Amino acid sequence: MPAVPVWPLVRPLLFRLDPEAAHGIAMRSLRAVQAVPPLAAALRRSFLVDTAPLERTLFGRELLNPVGLAAGFDKDAVAVRGLAALGFGCIEIGTVTPKPQPGNPRPRLFRFAAVESLQNAMGFNNAGLAAVRARLAGLQPTPLPVGVNVGKNKDTPPEAALADYEALIRAFAGLCDYLVVNVSSPNTPGLRDLQNEVFLRSLLRAATGITDRPVLVKIAPDLEIAEAVRLAEVAVDAGAAGVVATNTTNDYSLLPGAKDFGGLSGRVLKEKSFRVFDAVARRLFGRAVLVSVGGIDSGTEAYRRLRAGADLVQVYTALVYQGPALVRRINEEILELMERDGAKGLGEVIGADR
């Protein structure tokens, strides 16, 4: 299929709408695509960069490329096949909580287009464990590796948080390729307090008792670097298969005009997220699966994260600004950089700077 440059026409229309309404339209479009398998297949042919040098085994499955979709875009796993058609190597759904919850009052998602950034205070709006589990069960076998990101309900008191995570891990372990315990959203009061050694240790011990699927921990970029490294190491020592770094930031000084609530993502997060990831990777490269997310908006940036030690990079905000050709563009650029450096496979790139 020829690459039709529709995005430059569609983007201004979408950007006239409230950001959450625009997201709703994007999700409906992806669902429409997946409802017509030949259309999804044609799109996939156009967007998937299908070439051996980008392939790698991760989480026990063949990953066609190292670019994944970050959590929060498809919280309820309603558009997995449509998203697969955009050429992703893997997709992380969620955050899913045990009970369905509506999230915070709107408006709760804001664009900062001049700096290709977003601010969100969604608050884990999602359909809940039972509905998402049923949907995922209907998708087996999934067309690409799928991770499930899990979190506690807003009204779950801290002493019951562990039970929330246990129930979620038990429910999803058989239906996904990896799990992520989210203890780093800024939009659930008290959630980030779970980023402590005692909780992480008991959480990972419990998780590894429940499943042998890889369980990763997603951390915030707002921890002191040494603290982030220490907690990541505690989690891995307690059985975590890896670390996802990072979630959004509540360092509002990064964006003049930002609201004083919610989390910032996109370009303004790029360097902060890289610094945390890089420090974690220095300590854990070779010992854990490392996923880098936060402000990745080009092949050059993705390549920097891979060289720093990322097994996988993830995008969210850049997809909003650059549209459906983003994943192809990133993968093509990674290939060009590999060629420049004489790397024949990702194995020669990942961790090259370590």
Does residue 188 touch ligand FMN according to CB under 6 A?
no
- By rule CB under 6 A, what string of x and - marks binding of each residue 59-98 to ligand FMN? -----------xxx--x------------------xx---
SS3 letters for 79-96? CHHHHHCCCCCEEEEEEE
The residue from 33, 255, 293, 310 that contacts ligand FMN (CB under 6 A) is 293
- By rule CB under 6 A, what string of x and - marks binding of each residue 112-151 to ligand FMN? ------x-x-x-x------------------------x--
Least distance in angstroms from the C-beta of 3 to ligand FMN: 23
Distance CA 86, CA 115 (A): 24
Q: Pairing relation of β-strands 178-182 and 215-219? A: parallel
- Residues from 19 through 58 that contact ligand FMN (CB under 6 A): none
Q: Which stretch binds ligand FMN (CB under 6 A): 167-175, 223-231, 303-311, 313-321?
A: 313-321
The residue from 83, 315, 346, 349 that contacts ligand FMN (CB under 6 A) is 315
Least distance in angstroms from the C-beta of 165 to ligand FMN: 13
Does residue 266 touch ligand FMN according to CB under 6 A?
yes
Distance CA 104, CA 38 (A): 38
Least distance in angstroms from the C-beta of 108 to ligand FMN: 8
- Token pair belonging to 5: 């440059």
Burial 252-264 (b: 16+ CB within 10 A, else e): bebbeebeeebbb
Distance CA 171, CA 179 (A): 11
Nearer to ligand FMN, 142 or 265 (CB): 265
Does residue 165 touch ligand FMN according to CB under 6 A?
no
Nearer to ligand FMN, 53 or 295 (CB): 295
Least distance in angstroms from the C-beta of 206 to ligand FMN: 20
Question: Closest residue to ligand FMN, Cβ-based?
Answer: 72
Does residue 295 touch ligand FMN according to CB under 6 A?
yes
Which entry of 117, 184, 185, 273 is annotated as an active-site residue? 185
Where are the extended beta strands (E) located within the chain? 56-58, 61-63, 67-69, 90-96, 109-112, 117-120, 146-150, 178-182, 215-219, 242-245, 263-266, 289-293, 312-315
CA distances from 31 to 19, 78, 114 (A): 18, 7, 29
Distance CA 346, CA 154 (A): 40
The residue from 148, 219, 310, 318 that contacts ligand FMN (CB under 6 A) is 318
The answer to whether residue 185 is catalytic is yes
Say if residues 248 and 263 touch (Cβ distance below 8 Å). yes
Number of residues this chain uses to bind ligand FMN (CB under 6 A): 28
Say if residues 281 and 309 touch (Cβ distance below 8 Å). yes
Distance CA 97, CA 152 (A): 5
The residue from 248, 250, 322, 331 that contacts ligand FMN (CB under 6 A) is 248
Distance CA 134, CA 243 (A): 27
- Token pair belonging to 323: 């549209």
Does residue 179 touch ligand FMN according to CB under 6 A?
no
Least distance in angstroms from the C-beta of 27 to ligand FMN: 12
SS3 letters for 2-23? CCCCCHHHHHHHHCCCCHHHHH
Does residue 218 touch ligand FMN according to CB under 6 A?
yes
Query: Is 42 buried (19+), middle (13-18) or exposed (0-12) by CB count in 10 A?
Result: middle
Active site residues: 185
Tell me which residues touch ligand FMN (CB under 6 A). Answer: 70-72, 75, 94-95, 109, 118, 120, 122, 124, 149, 182, 185, 218, 247-248, 265-266, 269, 293-296, 315-318
